[in-house]
């Protein structure tokens, strides 16, 4: 699947265009996307401004890092429990 080259600020601008009265079909044709993609963006980014969008991306990145750290610690914990439970 091809990764989109449309930035978050362009997504927010497209949503604002739709809110100002431009047809969704015209916006999708200009961006080269499917209407379902636009509605998914609208569900996720509706009502956001650039500063809020930047904060959302920062929080998503922090969440990703924390999940990774948790996975590593859980694995370490399991390994230690396995080692300690064995009788020598």
Q: What is the pLDDT of residues 2-20, one digit of tens each?
A: 566 888 888 888 998 998 9
Contact in structure between 36 and 28 (CB atoms under 8 Å): no
Per-residue pLDDT reduced to its tens digit, 39-62: 998 988 877 777 787 888 899 999
Per-chain mean pLDDT for the chain: 88
More confident: 66 or 53: 66
Q: How far apart are CA 23 and CA 66, in angstroms?
A: 40
pTM over 0.85: no
* Contacting residues for 53 by C-beta, under 8 A, at least 6 apart: 8, 9, 12, 45
* Contacting residues for 18 by C-beta, under 8 A, at least 6 apart: 24, 27, 38, 42
């Amino acid at each position: 699947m091809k990764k989109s080259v449309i930035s978050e600020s362009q997504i927010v601008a497209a949503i604002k265009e739709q809110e100002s009265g431009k047809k969704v079909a015209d916006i999708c044709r200009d961006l080269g996307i499917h209407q379902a993609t636009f509605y998914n963006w609208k569900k996720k980014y509706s009502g956001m401004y650039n500063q809020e969008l930047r904060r959302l991306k920062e929080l998503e990145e922090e969440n990703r890092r924390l999940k990774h750290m948790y996975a590593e610690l859980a694995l370490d914990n399991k390994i230690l429990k396995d080692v300690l439970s064995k009788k020598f």
